[in-house]
A and B are shown apart, each in its own frame.
Chain A
Amino acid sequence: MAFLLSFVAGSPVEALLPADATAEDAERLTETLGLDEPLHVQYARFLQRAVRGDFGESIKWRGQSAMGIVFERLPMTLQLALTALTFSIVVAVPIGVLSAVHKDGYFDRFGKVIALLGQSLPPFWLGIMLIWFLGVGLGWLPVAGAGSWRHIVMPAIALGWYQVAAIMRLTRSAMLDVLDSEYIKLARMKGVSERSVIWKHALRNALIVPLTYLGIILGAVITRTVVVEVVFGWPGTGTLVMEAVLGRDLPVVNAVLIIFAAIFVVANFLVDILYAVIDPRIRLQ
């Protein structure tokens, strides 16, 4: 797929040559890059290298391998994404559980408002507003860059907020289903404390649904990560891919694409494993 994209994205030859280059120059460069060979030859060579994680040298950052640059930036992106997801879960799950327990109460209504607001806030705008309020207005947090834990607070909130709404609603509805089931009644009859019934017996089973959701939305989270990184100048793969695309640096774009795809696969695999940890019935099958 990355290979297809490299064709759609336009010839790197055009991007590399100065504006006054002649057709002859273009031909020579095409030859050096091996772009004059038939498609299937190019494709075979591309695959061969891609399997080894070799996408060639970056066009924009001369002398560095595309994969190397991506790996350099990747930890920052993972750090941001994981912090944001942790934020979403820590905020959303308790609100979802309490909304279900106090269904139709004030807390439930409060939760609904949060959910609606979360789904309607564009992350980039939320990011800018956070910068304005917390960064510039109150001066509590640095407005851009990375370095200390204080740098990550605002990007993590901007990125995590959108998921809060969804995870909360899913937790709430799953909890409502679970709290209605037989074994919860049994647990209550046995005299298990209410707190233990809700937070241990019920929540464990209810968590499956939001977990599945996390696997599904990963592609969208990656998109939002790119946007949030750009807003906050976070030095991760998101800002990298924007720079690479603007500079038509195809090796880097390809490398990022492959890494994103790999993250997607690995994350879905982890979600499957988590299922088994949470629900022993799945382990048996």
Chain B
Amino acid sequence: MPSSIRESGSSSRDVRPRGRSGRAPFVSIAILFFFLVLPSLVPDLMAPHDPLQGVFADRLRPPVFFGGTWEYPLGTDQLGRDILSRIIHGASVSLSVSLTGIFLGGLVGTTLGMIAGYFGGAVDAIIMRLVEVTMSIPLILLGLVLALSLGSSFQSIIIVIVLVLWAYYARQIRGEVLTIRERVFIDRARVAGASHLRILIRHIFPNIVNTLIVLATLQVAVVIIMEATLSFLGLGLPRPFPAWGLMVADGRTLIVRAWWIAFFPGLSIMLVVLALNVLGDWLRDRLDPKLRQL
């Protein structure tokens, strides 16, 4: 899936729009910390109830301010499980899936992108064809087929995400390596007797780290939506795991009687993704103005 689209900065009046690259987006960082990172690290400290074990007598309780009590601030689902606790535990699903997927996808994509850009020729042609093929496969079909063959598990989601993500890294990194390769210090390293591997790791890689950081931040948002979509369709982690997408799916049929079951997990996805997009925009402006065309 393409990462979100950015405005190009090539217009002379639009080199540095005010207010965008200035102050760090503290609100976004705070949202990410309290909604994503902290609940993933210490879910048991934050969650008031057990996310998997509900109290049947307390099922379908509305949220506080909507006729509910502080006992269950965001209400309970059809099995009497506390929505807030499930959202808190679900954060670690989103975070671990996206971090693992992005790390592995980035690793594969960067390696192949560097190889393609550095060596060129037939290797480049083959890798770039693979990139095109990958980009043309709808994520959903890949997800469906893999979830069927491997069963829905943490590993199969990660495989789907890696298979989708690597192409975006490979394409971007290859482009950058193509220009870095022509720079003088690479020739000098060659003359000094450095091997190809050494040049790739010591001389080229440090020059693409910024790009990688920006790309990865923007991709976390994309991957969280991907994971939620797969979970929603029942292709993600199996029930009763409290994945946000799965919770929305559970609440879908009860939307009339208990809107809060689907509403709050979706709201969490939206807030976290929104914060990640804002943070990614800011990082891109700070670290790597070249990427504004992304």
Q: Please list the residues of chain A having a beta carbon within 8 angstroms of any beta carbon in chain B.
A: 1, 5, 8-10, 103-104, 116-117, 119-125, 128-129, 131-132, 136, 165-166, 169-170, 172-174, 176-177, 180, 213, 216-217, 219-220, 222-223, 226-227, 230-231, 241-242, 245, 248, 253, 256-257, 260-261, 264
Contact assessment for A180 and B144 in the assembled complex, using a CB-CB cutoff below 8 Å: no
User: Is B208 interfacial (CB-CB < 8 Å)?
Assistant: no
Interface positions of B from 2 to 19, Cβ below 8 Å from A? 2, 4-14, 17-18
Contact assessment for A220 and B11 in the assembled complex, using a CB-CB cutoff below 8 Å: no
A116-B278, A220-B139 are known; give 11 further A-B pairs, CB within 8 A.
A119-B273, A119-B277, A120-B277, A122-B229, A128-B252, A132-B255, A165-B5, A213-B5, A220-B138, A223-B138, A230-B233
Q: Which 7 A-B pairs have the closest CB atoms?
A: A125-B266, A173-B7, A120-B274, A166-B5, A223-B140, A120-B273, A222-B138
Residues in A whose Cβ lies below 8 Å from that of B145: 5, 8-9, 245, 253
Q: A177: which of B11, B225, B245, B263 is its contact (CB, 8 Å)? A: B11
Known: A122-B269, A128-B252. A227 touches B140 (CB 8 A): yes
The chain A residue with its CB closest to the CB of B14 is A176
Contact assessment for B266 and A122 in the assembled complex, using a CB-CB cutoff below 8 Å: yes
Which segment of B35-43, B129-137, B185-193 sits at the interface? B129-137
| Complex Cα spacing A124 to B232, Å | 8
Q: A128: which of B144, B146, B255, B270 is its contact (CB, 8 Å)? A: B255
User: Is B228 interfacial (CB-CB < 8 Å)?
Assistant: yes
Residues in B whose Cβ lies below 8 Å from that of A180: 11-13
Contact assessment for A231 and B277 in the assembled complex, using a CB-CB cutoff below 8 Å: no
The chain A residue with its CB closest to the CB of B276 is A120
Known: A120-B274, A169-B6, A180-B13. A231 touches B138 (CB 8 A): no
The chain B residue with its CB closest to the CB of A10 is B149
Q: A176: which of B6, B11, B149, B269 is its contact (CB, 8 Å)? A: B11
The chain B residue with its CB closest to the CB of A125 is B266
Contact assessment for B148 and A177 in the assembled complex, using a CB-CB cutoff below 8 Å: no
Known: A166-B5, A213-B5, A245-B148. A219 touches B225 (CB 8 A): no
Residues in A whose Cβ lies below 8 Å from that of B141: 5, 241, 253, 256-257, 260
The chain B residue with its CB closest to the CB of A178 is B11
What is the CB-to-nearest-CB distance from B290 to chain A, in angstroms, rounded to a whole number? 15
User: Is B1 interfacial (CB-CB < 8 Å)?
Assistant: yes
What is the CB-to-nearest-CB distance from A275 to chain B, in angstroms, rounded to a whole number? 18
Residues in B whose Cβ lies below 8 Å from that of A9: 145, 148-149
Contact assessment for B1 and A223 in the assembled complex, using a CB-CB cutoff below 8 Å: yes
Residues in A whose Cβ lies below 8 Å from that of B233: 226-227, 230, 242
Residues in A whose Cβ lies below 8 Å from that of B228: 122, 124-125
Contact assessment for B263 and A129 in the assembled complex, using a CB-CB cutoff below 8 Å: yes
Residues in B whose Cβ lies below 8 Å from that of A136: 255-256
Residues in A whose Cβ lies below 8 Å from that of B252: 128, 231
What is the CB-to-nearest-CB distance from A97 to chain B, in angstroms, rounded to a whole number? 14
User: Is B112 interfacial (CB-CB < 8 Å)?
Assistant: no
| Complex Cα spacing A232 to B287, Å | 42
Known: A122-B266, A136-B256, A219-B136. A176 touches B277 (CB 8 A): no
| Complex Cα spacing A213 to B278, Å | 21
Residues in B whose Cβ lies below 8 Å from that of A104: 17-18
Which interface residue of B9, B13, B149, B225 has the most chain A CB atoms within 10 A? B225
| Complex Cα spacing A253 to B72, Å | 43
Interface positions of B from 233 to 274, Cβ below 8 Å from A? 233, 245, 248-249, 251-252, 255-256, 259, 262-263, 266, 269-271, 273-274
What is the CB-to-nearest-CB distance from B128 to chain A, in angstroms, rounded to a whole number? 15
